[in-house]
Amino acid sequence: MTSISTDERLKRNSLLRRALVRPELGAIGGTAAVFAFFLILAGGTQMFALDGVINWSTVSAQFIVLAVGVSLLMIAGEFDLSLGSMVGFSGMVFGLLVIHVGIPVWVAIVLTFAVCALIGTINGVLVIRTGLPSFVVTLAFMFILRGATIWSAITFNKQPVVSGISDAAAGDPIAWLFGGKAFTGLFTWLGQQGIIETYTRGTRLGQPIVDGIPMLILWAIGLVIVGQWVLTRTKFGNWIYAAGGDPQAARNVGVPVARVKVLMFIVAAICAALLGISQAIEFGSAASDRGIMTEFEAIICVVFGGALLTGGYGSVVGAALGAVIFGVVQQGLFFTNVESSLFRVFLGTILLGAVVANTYIRRSITGER
Amino acid sequence: MKNLSFKAVLLASLAATAAMGVVQSASAADEKYVLIHHSPDSETFWNTVKNGASLAAKEVGATVTFRNPPSGDLADMVRIIQQTTAEKPDGIIVTIPDLETVGGAIADAVAQGIPVVTMNTGTAEESKKLGALLHVGQPEYEAGKGAGERAKAEGMKSFLCVNSLFPNVAGQQRCEGFAEGLGVPLGEQMIDSGTDAAEIANRVKAYLSSHPDTSAVLTLGPMTAIPTIKALKDNGMAGDIYFATFDLNPDISQAIKDGVINFAIDQQPFLQGYLPVITLTNDLRYGVLQANSVLSGPGFVTKDNLSLVESLAGKYR
């Protein structure tokens, strides 16, 4: 009797092994560790009261919005260092369109998304056509967009901050989708029932201190769900992994690698524009220094989430958890009364720890060297 | 499964602490204040503010902690204000770099019953509008104008404004004020210097070599003054070109002594840190509050009044 060796593709892996090779593993552990850390150090403070939770959730949501785009792009094997500048640029384009061109806010939102999608396309096409590393091409756009933002602000507005967006956005049919708050009725009711804290004096007496869920949080949740679904449940998701993992092999089996990559540049640019527009509407102003360094922060979140810098491996959920770690650490340190200048030391340490742990676990499981 | 139960425990303890967090411990002395400003970590000016605030806190037996957005992004500053408000300190000391951006968050803190003193950037009117107790600061435009008038009296006709505070309206106001005092329109003389020392020095040199008839230089603080001193020494204009700067530090004092800088516009940052702590403490403990905002500057520092200033520069001046 000859033994037939089983096809390795059909081999059943143990549950533990399957759990360990998932890219999110490190991020889940990291998130748990970070929450445990702050529950011990800042458990008695307002950090875990409703307004504290909303605050760090909003900060995390800002990171998530970018991290979703960046993780998909990184899994497809490319970087975009211009995204931080894109956040400032999109806000400024939007602000100038609303305040200086005077078009309705919803038209300005649509136009801003279009402009940013176009720049994402240019980024992508340049990378594909020239064959240069995306690191270099988008580094150039990091300066171009930041410079254009400052120049246009000074030229058209005479100062680096464009104000007055709140008034323009009031009553607009879709502006609330970006800078507004959801479930305000519910929160008012909860306040009236005495379930959540309300203002105890002044002109806002009786109103709840937290009057709704910022829309950005809902956007973040929505993007994570859609992003993860596309990545893990669709053919296109496989193409993204393939384009980043081994573009040549992917091309050989008929994956339109160039199209996938350019599309991912566009998605990342749109995520940045979403953040830029949301911030402009929420704060009522567009400033030319918005988003400085956020391109790197988004990459850090994605790496926390277990993605490989070389592409082909990673997850949207992991990136989102990475963003939560980032947001919670950034805001949480304030509650522990740790000197705020130590934030970066702490962040760098976690980054290093996360990457080392991720790499070590993956190597020992997959046997790669 | 293990993971899931761990999560459940975590959630439960999270909810428990959320419930406990609502209970506030009230104690008379040992007030906790938080000072939030808008500048990136690299600006040395804030050290003097910190020293002033820490000294005041020590004197009255309170504590004060300092927070700022590491890269100077005002959107981050708003989150810091919101987070601090959630923390419910006994008082918040905060700058108003842009009313529309940070105003809402400050007004929310006031609405929650936290006493707020504004300082440094912003105006007394903005401070009042937000419901703060008072403002301690230097009116930027007027300070710039005063300096411009001084330069005009000494025969200056044109100037270069080295602006490193670009997205901050205060920088613009200082340059505009100086231009007004000098009696010239503000245009391309205001350059965006960036915040890197080597870059600033190079841009100043480049501007002065392409505009050789420039008679005065205005810098907006140590961040631009120090590289500008170097640039002027390099191109031989030190001591020849009229040089005014905002703010003081040991290098600026030395340059005044050397005759490189003609005068410094001192907004007395010590007072901007010291007075808000005292004001908050007096208000909380004794219910007394002075009626008006405080103008901490401009004071002009020249060679003549340098000696006392110099011994304290960078610490309390």
Using an 8 Å CB-CB cutoff, list chain A residues near B169: 159-161
Q: Which of B7, B22, B73 would best serve as a mutation to test chain A binding (most A beta carbons within 10 A)?
A: B73
Which of B6, B20, B167 comes nearest A289 by C-beta?
A: B167
Question: How many beta-carbon pairs below 8 A join chains A and B?
Answer: 141
Using an 8 Å CB-CB cutoff, list chain A residues near B75: 279, 283, 287, 290
Residues B145, B175 contacting (CB under 8 angstroms):
no
Residue A337 backbone dihedrals phi, psi, to 5 degrees: 60, 30
A219: its two tokens? 């956007």
Using an 8 Å CB-CB cutoff, list chain A residues near B14: 35, 39, 48
Question: A35–B14: do the CB atoms touch at under 8 Å?
Answer: yes
Residues B250, B223 contacting (CB under 8 angstroms):
no
Q: Is A332 exposed, middle or buried (0-12, 13-18, 19+ CB in 10 A)?
A: buried
The average pLDDT across A214-233 equals 96
Question: A163–B80: do the CB atoms touch at under 8 Å?
Answer: no
Query: Distance between CA A322 and CA A29 in Å, rounded?
Result: 11
Residues A24, A317 contacting (CB under 8 angstroms):
yes
Place of tokens 């005292």: B278
* Greatest mean pLDDT range, A43-47, A203-207, B84-88, B307-311: B84-88
Of B73, B77, B195, B41, which Cα lies nearest the Cα of A91?
B73
Q: Which of A99, A289, A342 would best serve as a mutation to test chain B binding (most B beta carbons within 10 A)?
A: A289
Q: Residue B289 — left, alpha, or beta (φ > 0 → left; ψ -120 to 50 → alpha)?
A: beta
Q: Which of A48, A157, A209 would best serve as a mutation to test chain B binding (most B beta carbons within 10 A)?
A: A48
Q: Which of B79, B108, B110, B199 would best serve as a mutation to test chain A binding (most A beta carbons within 10 A)?
A: B79
CB contact set of B38 (below 8 Å; sequence gap of 6+):
B68, B69, B72, B74, B77, B95, B97, B102, B121, B168
Sheet holding B294-295, edge to edge: B63-67, B32-36, B91-94, B116-119, B135-137, B294-295
Using an 8 Å CB-CB cutoff, list chain B residues near A159: 169, 172
Q: What confidence score (pLDDT) does residue B16 get? A: 44
Q: What confidence score (pLDDT) does residue B272 get? A: 94
Q: What confidence score (pLDDT) does residue A322 get? A: 92
- pLDDT higher than 70, residue A365: no
Q: What confidence score (pLDDT) does residue B197 get? A: 80
CB contact set of B141 (below 8 Å; sequence gap of 6+):
B173, B174, B176, B177, B180
Residues A294, A153 contacting (CB under 8 angstroms):
no
Q: Is B248 exposed, middle or buried (0-12, 13-18, 19+ CB in 10 A)?
A: buried
Q: What's A47's DSSP letter? A: G
Using an 8 Å CB-CB cutoff, list chain A residues near B110: 202
B74: its two tokens? 């005002």
Q: What's B236's DSSP letter? A: T
Which of B21, B104, B166 comes nearest A48 by C-beta?
A: B21
Task: State which residue of chain B sits closest to A49, comparing Cα positions.
Answer: B18
Residue A202 backbone dihedrals phi, psi, to 5 degrees: 85, -170
Question: B167–A341: do the CB atoms touch at under 8 Å?
Answer: no
Q: What's A6's DSSP letter? A: P
Q: What confidence score (pLDDT) does residue A24 get? A: 82
Question: With pLDDT > 90 as the criterion, what percentage of chain A qualifies?
Answer: 48
Q: What confidence score (pLDDT) does residue A8 get? A: 65
Using an 8 Å CB-CB cutoff, list chain A residues near B21: 44-49, 52
Which of B87, B99, B172 comes nearest A335 by C-beta?
A: B87
Which of B78, B113, B169 comes nearest A201 by C-beta?
A: B113
Q: Which residue type occupies A40?
A: I
Query: Distance between CA A178 and CA A180 in Å, rounded?
Result: 6
What number of other Cβ atoms are within 10 A of residue B269's Cβ? 28
Using an 8 Å CB-CB cutoff, list chain A residues near B74: 283, 287, 289-290
**A25-42 vs B2-21: helix crossing angle, rounded to 10:** 30
The alpha-carbon gap from A123 to the nearest alpha carbon of chain B, in Å, equals 25
A218: its two tokens? 């809902």
The alpha-carbon gap from B298 to the nearest alpha carbon of chain A, in Å, equals 24
Question: B70–A344: do the CB atoms touch at under 8 Å?
Answer: yes
Residues A67, A305 contacting (CB under 8 angstroms):
yes
- pLDDT higher than 80, residue A12: no
What number of other Cβ atoms are within 10 A of residue B48's Cβ? 25
pLDDT in tens, chain B (317 residues): 444 444 444 444 444 444 443 333 344 578 999 999 998 766 667 888 999 999 999 999 999 999 988 777 888 899 999 999 988 899 999 999 888 889 999 999 999 999 999 999 888 999 999 999 999 999 889 899 999 999 999 999 999 999 887 767 778 889 999 999 999 998 888 888 877 787 888 889 888 888 888 999 999 988 899 899 988 988 888 889 999 999 888 888 889 999 999 999 988 889 999 999 999 999 999 999 988 889 988 889 998 888 877 777 667 77
Question: A47–B79: do the CB atoms touch at under 8 Å?
Answer: no
The average pLDDT across A107-124 equals 97
Task: Please report, for residues A220, A225, A248, A291, B82, the alpha-carbon distance to residue A241 in angstroms, rounded to integers and kept in the order given.
Answer: 22, 18, 13, 28, 39
Q: What confidence score (pLDDT) does residue A357 get? A: 78
Task: Give residue A70's Cα distance to chain centre.
Answer: 7
Global ipTM: 0.71
The alpha-carbon gap from B98 to the nearest alpha carbon of chain A, in Å, equals 8
Question: B86–A288: do the CB atoms touch at under 8 Å?
Answer: no
Q: Which of B5, B17, B176 would best serve as a mutation to test chain A binding (most A beta carbons within 10 A)?
A: B17
Q: What confidence score (pLDDT) does residue B14 get? A: 45
Of B218, B260, B258, which Cα lies nearest the Cα of B237?
B260
Residue B267 backbone dihedrals phi, psi, to 5 degrees: -90, 5
Of B228, B279, B237, B242, which Cα lies nearest the Cα of B91?
B279
Q: Could you give the 3-state DSSP secondary structure of residue A155?
A: helix
Residue A366 binned pLDDT confidence (cut-offs 50, 70, 90): low
Query: Distance between CA B77 and CA B99 in Å, rounded?
Result: 12
Q: Which residues pair with B245 in a beta bridge?
A: B219, B264
Q: Which residues pair with B244 in a beta bridge?
A: B218, B263
The alpha-carbon gap from A128 to the nearest alpha carbon of chain B, in Å, equals 33
